[in-house]
C-alpha cells in the first residue's frame, strides 16, 4: 500500500526547519548516549527514582464531570545528568483529570504529548474528557520538555533546535513517567497505563521499557524507531540538512568519536553494510553506577521547595533549576564523573574544508542521523516490557510520517504484542480515529484486569 497523499500535503505546510542548531554539543551527545546505555537496562536502574519521589498538586478546578488537578515536580534527569535540560524544562508540569465518581477501581492512564502538542488542551479535549464519559477512567497529561511551559526561549514553536534535544526529551520522560507512576501508586490509583500519539507513542514506549511491573501500553501512530521518521519519512524534508552536513564535515568529533558511542547493531542498524565508517566498534564497559549512586535520586530532593546549592550546573543557577540543597558541590561532581565518565570536550576543526563538498557527505549525514536516532529511540536498545501481551499498538497503513519499511517490526522486538492497522495515513488517523485509540486503551486495561486481578 502506498503513502497517504494527505500526509505528504500536510508536511508541505510546515515552513520552518527542524534542527536549525545542528546536532547539538558533542559533550551533550556523549553524556546522553552513555546515560542511554545505562537506562536501557531496566535491572540496573530500578532505584534511580525513589518510591517517594516528591510530586505536588498546586491547584484544583472542578468541572461538571471531573476534577482537574494542576501539578508539578522536578525532573529526575536534572539530578542524574546535571545541566543537560534547558533551564525552562527542569520543572515538569502536568494535569491530572479524574472523574467525580469512579465506575470501577481507580484506573489512570498517562498520556505523553505528540509533536506540536503544547500545554494540555488537545489531549484533555480529545482523549481525557471522553475517557471519563465512556469508561470512568482518569488521565494524567504530562508536558514534554521543550513544549509549552517547558519550551526554551530560543526555540521556534515545536521545532527542536538540536538533534540532541530529542534524546534529552526521551531520557527526561522515561524518568518523569517513573516518578508519576510511583506517585499514582502511592495515592492508591489502579491499574495504571501509558499511551501517546505519534512522538508521544514513542516516548510512552520508552518509558514502559523501564517500568518493573506489568503495565498496559498503547502507542498510537508510532513504531520501533524514530530513525526512519527523520531519514526516509516525509518529515525528513523538513530537516535542516545543510547545517547538519556542514557541522558533520567541519567538526571531526562526530565522525571520529561520537560514532563510537553508537551501540545498536541489529538487522536494521546503520552499521550493517556502512563501509564508509571506520573504527565503529561498540564501546565496552561504558557505564556502571556504583552502589551508592544507585540510591534513589528522590533521596536528594527536599520536599516542598527548590533550593540553593553551593555550585550551579552549567546552564543556570541551581535555585532556578529546582535542585535540592542536599546535592552538594562534591555530590554533583561525583555524580557526573562516575555516571557519565566526565568526558572532556575535544573539538577539532579540519583544515581541509573541501570535505564539505565531498559527494558522499549527504549520504554520510543521513547514515549518521540514523545511527544517533537508533541509539536513543530504537526499542531493541531497551529492555522488553514486563508483559508484552498488555501492549496494543495502533498504526496507519499508509503512514508517511512513520515508515515501517526497512526497520524491525514491534512484533519482532516485543513478541506477544498486538498491532492494529487503520486505513489511511498519519494525519487522517489523528484527526478522525481518536475513538479507535481510546478503545485500544480500554481493551489493554481490560486485559490487565483479567490477567492480574490481584496485582495492586
Residues 141-151: what's their mean pLDDT? 91
Average pLDDT over residues 172-199: 97
What burial letters (b/e) apply to 88-126, b meaning 16+ CB within 10 Å? bbbbbbbbbbbbeeeeeebbbbbbbbbbebbbbebbbeb
Distance CA 220, CA 200 (A): 8
The answer to whether residue 228 scores a pLDDT higher than 80 is yes
Highest average pLDDT, of 2-6, 13-17, 314-318, comes from 2-6
For 59-115, what is each residue's pLDDT tens digit?
999 999 899 999 999 999 999 999 999 999 999 999 999 999 998 899 999 999 987
> Which pLDDT value is given to residue 35?
92
Residue 68 main-chain phi, psi, to 5 deg: -115, 115
Q: Which secondary structure element, helix H or strand E, spans residue 71, and what is its range? A: strand 66-74
pLDDT of res. 316: 42
Tens of pLDDT, residues 263-284: 765 667 665 444 433 333 332 3
Write down the pLDDT at residue 270: 60
- Label residue 359 by pLDDT band (50, 70, 90): low
User: What's the pLDDT band for 44 if we cut at 50, 70, 90?
Assistant: confident
pLDDT band for position 420 (cuts 50, 70, 90) = very high
Report yes or no: 123 and 147 within 8 Å, Cβ to Cβ: no
What pLDDT shows up at residue 259? 85
Q: In the predicted model, what is the mean pLDDT of the chain?
A: 81
More confident residue, 174 or 347: 174
- What is the per-residue pLDDT across 6-24, written as a single tens digit (0 to 9) for each? 766 656 666 578 898 999 9
If one compares 321 and 259, the residue with the highest pLDDT of the two is 259
pLDDT (tens digit per residue) in 201-226: 999 999 999 999 999 999 999 999 99
| Phi and psi angles of residue 388, each rounded to the nearest 5 degrees, phi first | -75, -15
Report the share of the chain in percent with pLDDT over 70.
Answer: 76
For residue 200, pLDDT beyond 70: yes
Contact (CB, 8 A) for 444 and 191: no
Amino acid at each position: 500500500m502506498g503513502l497517504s497523499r494527505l500526509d505528504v500535503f500536510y508536511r508541505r505546510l510546515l515552513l520552518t526547519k527542524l534542527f536549525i542548531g545542528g546536532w547539538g554539543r558533542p559533550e551533550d551527545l556523549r553524556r546522553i548516549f552513555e546515560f542511554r546505555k545505562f537506562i536501557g537496562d531496566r535491572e540496573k536502574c530500578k532505584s534511580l527514582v525513589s518510591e517517594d519521589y516528591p510530586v505536588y498538586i498546586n491547584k484544583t478546578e472542578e468541572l461538571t464531570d471531573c476534577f482537574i488537578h494542576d501539578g508539578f515536580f522536578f525532573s529526575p534527569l536534572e539530578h542524574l545528568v546535571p545541566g543537560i535540560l534547558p533551564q525552562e524544562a527542569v520543572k515538569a508540569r502536568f494535569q491530572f483529570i479524574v472523574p467525580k465518581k469512579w465506575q470501577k477501581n481507580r484506573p489512570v492512564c498517562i498520556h505523553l504529548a505528540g509533536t506540536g502538542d503544547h500545554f494540555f488542551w488537545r489531549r484533555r479535549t480529545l482523549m481525557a474528557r471522553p475517557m471519563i464519559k465512556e469508561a470512568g477512567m482518569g488521565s494524567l497529561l504530562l508536558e514534554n520538555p521543550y513544549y509549552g511551559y517547558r519550551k526554551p526561549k530560543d526555540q521556534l514553536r515545536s521545532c527542536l533546535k538540536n538533534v540532541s534535544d530529542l534524546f534529552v526529551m526521551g531520557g527526561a520522560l522515561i524518568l518523569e513517567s517513573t516518578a508519576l507512576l510511583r506517585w499514582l501508586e502511592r495515592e492508591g490509583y489502579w491499574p495504571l497505563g501509558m499511551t501517546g500519539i505519534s512522538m508521544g507513542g514513542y516516548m510512552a514506549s520508552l518509558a514502559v521499557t523501564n517500568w518493573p511491573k506489568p503495565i498496559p501500553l498503547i502507542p498510537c501512530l508510532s513504531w520501533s524507531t524514530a530513525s526512519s521518521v527523520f531519514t526516509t519519512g516525509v518529515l525528513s524534508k523538513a530537516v535542516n540538512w545543510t547545517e547538519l552536513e556542514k557541522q558533520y564535515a567541519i567538526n571531526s568529533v562526530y565522525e571520529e568519536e561520537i560514532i563510537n558511542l553508537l551501540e545498536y547493531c541489529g538487522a536494521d542498524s546503520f552499521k550493517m553494510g556502512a563501509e564508509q565508517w571506520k573504527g565503529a566498534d561498540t564501546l565496552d564497559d561504558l557505564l556502571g553506577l556504583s552502589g551508592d549512586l544507585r540510591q534513589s535520586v528522590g533521596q536528594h530532593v527536599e520536599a516542598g521547595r527548590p533550593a540553593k546549592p553551593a555550585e550551579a550546573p552549567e546552564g543556570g543557577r541551581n535555585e532556578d533549576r529546582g535542585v535540592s540543597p542536599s546535592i552538594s558541590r562534591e555530590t554533583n561532581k561525583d555524580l557526573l564523573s562516575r555516571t557519565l565518565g566526565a568526558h572532556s570536550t575535544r573539538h577539532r576543526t579540519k583544515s581541509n574544508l573541501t570535505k564539505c563538498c565531498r559527494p558522499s557527505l549527504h549520504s554520510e549525514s543521513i547514515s549518521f542521523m540514523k545511527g544517533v536516532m537508533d541509539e536513543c529511540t530504537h526499542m531493541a536498545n531497551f529492555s522488553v516490557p514486563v508483559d508484552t501481551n498488555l501492549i496494543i499498538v495502533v498504526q496507519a497503513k499508509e503512514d508517511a510520517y512513520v515508515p515501517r519499511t526497512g526497520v524491525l517490526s514491534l512484533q519482532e522486538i516485543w513478541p506477544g504484542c498486538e498491532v492494529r492497522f487503520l486505513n489511511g495515513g498519519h494525519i487522517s488517523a489523528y484527526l478522525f480515529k481518536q475513538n479507535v485509540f481510546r478503545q485500544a486503551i480500554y481493551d489493554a486495561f481490560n486485559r490487565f484486569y483479567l490477567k492480574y486481578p490481584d496485582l495492586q
